[in-house]
């Protein structure tokens, strides 16, 4: 195939979504480059994902690391401008809604690089979330908009994006989940954390609204301690907010266990065996839906409303957290229908559309 396709990855969700797309394009014979921006630079949060997901080693690592929203986005822009100038691609593919996504999109658009966005059109309608700004702007810059959820098509139409640029392809994150389902070992996860046959809850918390303010962190810790009075609570804790949560007494309850971030297989094995998950992440809402583990999302809104309308996920406040988690554990696994096109074939659909688009370009 003529022309190179460049994939820009920066954080855990990007890796999980990109793996089936890169694999499908490789099957069709495309030359590809992978740029890791280094937005997630801890080995457990980035490098291990390349190994476990079978991703090709990055051709470039920009090494942007942590920083403010502006600094991180700016460093991605500078690095991607150099990359696109040195190795102009036939198409650049960006994923999700992190700072790497918008930084690469801005750099590419100004250089005339054609852009595709995987997971286009998701909206929380909460402009206090940096990710919401990233999503909206990225979708205005991209020529190909790959939609993972039906309502996203309408969002893009209302924002003036042409119908011919929008493709409902399903969810490549689910492709990765289904491909690895046989190796998610809940029993091994239980054993490694000394849980025996006890019920447990997994919590993933990193958003500023939950972990940046000492007062809010104190409320959150109190709620988690209520849950821990009944169940073990396992928290793979993101570097963001760790100091604030620990200062609020997170570790004071004996059944609260804070662990370092996990690799993809280890984390999903832990989630698979959980009685419930508390999260403020986006992707975890989808992963728990497929695994049929009740999800409680500690946010006032979600860009993945299909998980709420399907019944697998519920939005909660800190005041509701303890009661909601205990009820979810008692209610048991989610038994409803899965969202449309969660069939494990989103990656090949995206690859076929890219092939056709490049031929016509």
Active-site residues: which are they?
A: 206
Angle at which helix 283-291 crosses helix 12-27, to 10 degrees, equals 70
**DSSP labels, 227-275:** HHTTSEEEEE--STTHHHHHHTTGGGSTTEEEE----HHHHHHHHHT-S
**Residue 203 bridge partners (DSSP):** 278
Task: Count the Cβ atoms, other than its own, within 10 Å of residue 21.
Answer: 27
CA dihedral 256, 261, 262, 267 (to 10 degrees): 60
Tokens 């992190």 correspond to 98
Give whole-number Cα distances, 5 to 25, 97, 201, 341, 354, in Å: 9, 20, 40, 25, 10
Q: Which two tokens stand for residue 101?
A: 């996504």
């Amino acid at each position: 195939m003529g022309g190179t396709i460049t994939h820009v990855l920066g954080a855990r969700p990007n890796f999980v979504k990109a793996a089936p797309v890169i694999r499908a394009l490789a099957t069709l014979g495309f030359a590809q480059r992978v740029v890791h921006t280094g937005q997630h630079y801890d080995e457990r949060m980035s490098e291990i994902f390349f190994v476990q997901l079978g991703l090709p080693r990055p051709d470039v690592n920009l090494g942007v690391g942590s920083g403010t929203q502006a600094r991180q986005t700016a460093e991605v822009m500078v690095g991607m401008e150099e990359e696109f100038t040195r190795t102009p691609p036939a198409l650049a593919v960006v994923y999700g809604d992190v700072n790497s996504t918008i930084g690469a999109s801005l750099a590419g658009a100004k250089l005339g690089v054609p852009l595709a966005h995987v997971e286009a059109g998701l909206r929380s309608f909460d402009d206090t979330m940096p990710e919401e700004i990233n999503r909206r702007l990225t979708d205005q810059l991209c020529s190909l908009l790959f939609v993972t959820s039906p309502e996203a098509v309408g969002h893009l139409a209302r924002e003036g994006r042409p119908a011919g640029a929008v493709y409902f392809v399903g969810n490549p994150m689910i492709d990765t989940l289904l491909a690895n389902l046989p190796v998610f070992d809940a029993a091994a996860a239980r054993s490694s954390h000394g849980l025996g046959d006890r019920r447990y809850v997994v919590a993933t918390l990193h958003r500023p609204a939950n972990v940046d303010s000492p007062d809010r962190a104190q409320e959150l810790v109190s709620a988690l301690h209520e849950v821990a009075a009944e169940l073990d609570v396992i928290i793979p804790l993101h570097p963001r907010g760790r100091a604030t949560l620990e200062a609020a007494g997170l570790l004071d309850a004996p059944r609260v266990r804070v662990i370092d971030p996990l690799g993809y297989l280890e984390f999903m094995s832990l989630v698979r065996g959980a009685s419930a998950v508390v999260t403020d992440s986006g992707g975890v809402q989808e992963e728990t839906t497929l695994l049929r583990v009740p999800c409680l999302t500690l946010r006032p809104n979600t860009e993945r409303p299909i998980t709420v309308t399907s019944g697998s996920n519920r939005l909660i406040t800190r005041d509701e957290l303890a009661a909601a988690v205990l009820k979810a554990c008692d209610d048991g696994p989610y038994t409803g229908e899965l969202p449309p096109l969660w069939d494990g074939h989103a990656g090949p659909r995206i690859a076929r559309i890219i092939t056709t688009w490049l031929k016509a370009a």
